[in-house]
Amino acid sequence: MPVKNRFAELLPEITEWRRDLHENPEILFDTHRTSAIVAEKLKAFGCDEIVTGIGRTGVVGVIKGKSSGSGKVIGLRADMDALPIHEQTGLDYASKTDGAMHACGHDGHTAMLLGAAKYLSETRNFDGTVVVIFQPAEEGGGGGKEMCDDGMMDQFGIQEVYGMHNWPGKPVGSFAIRPGAFFAAADQFDIVVEGKGGHAAKPQETIDSTVIAAHLVTAVQTIASRNADPVEQVVVSVTSIESSSTAYNVIPQRVHLKGTVRTLNKDIRDLAEKRLGEIAQGVAATYGATIDLNYMRGYPVMVNSDAQTEFAAEVAASVSGECADAPLVMGGEDFAFMLEERPGAYILVGNGDTAAVHHPEYNFNDEAIPAGCSWWAEIVEQRMPAG
């Protein structure tokens, strides 16, 4: 089953939706305009039920098939939020909001799921129920968790859940997936080094917080190189260093480090957190400083269920001709929270030769829309075939 002709027909309309969303990005949970547009369109499509305010600004639509004898209920999820990045694409429909842009393609994800919802509402050629999920705050806000915490899975009786993300560098409309651990757990840390400030010409009278911070940056790299099993994936990155002074002739009293830890299994995640604390205290004792660590666990490892991944790959191959094996990704993805509650799968759809996600020149490729919409629709029609 190739790309559905209906989505080729709908492409100009879905592209228009997508570009409007791109022009009007909203960050984290502040997706008020986007959520209202989604709810309005779902109503116009004739969805059987529309619920707003789940996970603060999330929207859920329910579409019933021609029959319901199977008793199956499948969830399809798209994210809606943008990033705090100043757009540099020069597009006619570039962001009108300074400091915000759809730099990860969530405008495309939302538009594709709306397209699938329109088609499924028109045809209803399935036996069961579809729940379309439009989620805010994927980019660090944990909107997926909030929707789950609000009882979404039980409220709508969702049995399986499927998600999708565009992927620059893959041919447009192609697919890739992998079973098991796919996207990494994403944690954050703050480290505050408190030394004894003073004149830069008299370092002997100080406890130099900058030197101590430099040792910490180097030392934490041993978590990956000397503490974790070499076959396990772990990334420990210090991403920000700020001192309490910006003067050339002052040794600062305090240095603040920020960073992230990415892991793909629970034991390595625990090890990284433990060793980070031990290293911080060891360095503090060595140099006579005080070091405070605040370790914040974020998104868990996103784990694709085996059976649902196999099915999702078969559907992808039916749409595009094949489905490739995806690499492990050390980025985080809060669809992980939904996969902790229900079996399901997350797939990548090719965005072509474009700028990378989270780049100010990135843009979702509208040519991927028919393939993405077709995959959503086929997930439903093949999983819940009409009698």
245 with 176, same domain: the answer is no
Dihedral, 102, 371, 48, 123 alpha carbons, nearest 10: 150
Final residue belonging to a domain, choices 281, 299, 317? 299
165 with 310, same domain: the answer is yes
372 with 313, same domain: the answer is yes
Q: What is the pTM of this model?
A: 0.95
The count of domains in the chain is 2
Chain centre to alpha carbon of residue 80:
11
- pLDDT digits 0-9 by tens, 272-305: 999 999 999 999 999 999 999 999 999 999 999 9
Does pLDDT of 314 surpass 70?
yes
Q: What's the CATH number where 270 sits?
A: 3.30.70.360
Percent of the chain whose predicted confidence (pLDDT) is above 90 = 98
105 with 154, same domain: the answer is yes
260 with 352, same domain: the answer is no
Does pLDDT of 3 surpass 80?
no
The arithmetic mean of pLDDT across residues 238-256, rounded, is 98
248 with 331, same domain: the answer is no
The arithmetic mean of pLDDT across residues 118-124, rounded, is 98
Task: Give the Cα separation of 98 and 319 in Å (integer).
Answer: 38
pLDDT at residue number 59: 98
Does pLDDT of 1 surpass 60?
no
Task: Give the Cα separation of 100 and 85 in Å (integer).
Answer: 5
32 with 117, same domain: the answer is yes
pLDDT at residue number 82: 98
44 with 151, same domain: the answer is yes
Phi and psi at 17, nearest 5°, equal -60, -50
DSSP 84-128: S-------TT--SSTT-B--SSHHHHHHHHHHHHHHHHHH--BBS
Q: What's the CATH number where 103 sits?
A: 3.40.630.10
The overall longest dimension of the chain from CA atoms, in Å, is 84
Does pLDDT of 127 surpass 60?
yes
112 with 25, same domain: the answer is yes
- pLDDT digits 0-9 by tens, 75-104: 999 999 999 999 999 999 999 999 999 999
DSSP 225: I
Final residue belonging to a domain, choices 255, 277, 299? 299
What residue numbers bound the domain in which 159 lies? 5-183+301-383
307 with 243, same domain: the answer is no
295 with 310, same domain: the answer is no
179 with 35, same domain: the answer is yes
Band of the pLDDT at 2, cuts 50, 70, 90?
Answer: low
Final residue belonging to a domain, choices 266, 299, 332? 299
- pLDDT digits 0-9 by tens, 333-364: 999 999 999 999 999 999 999 999 999 999 99
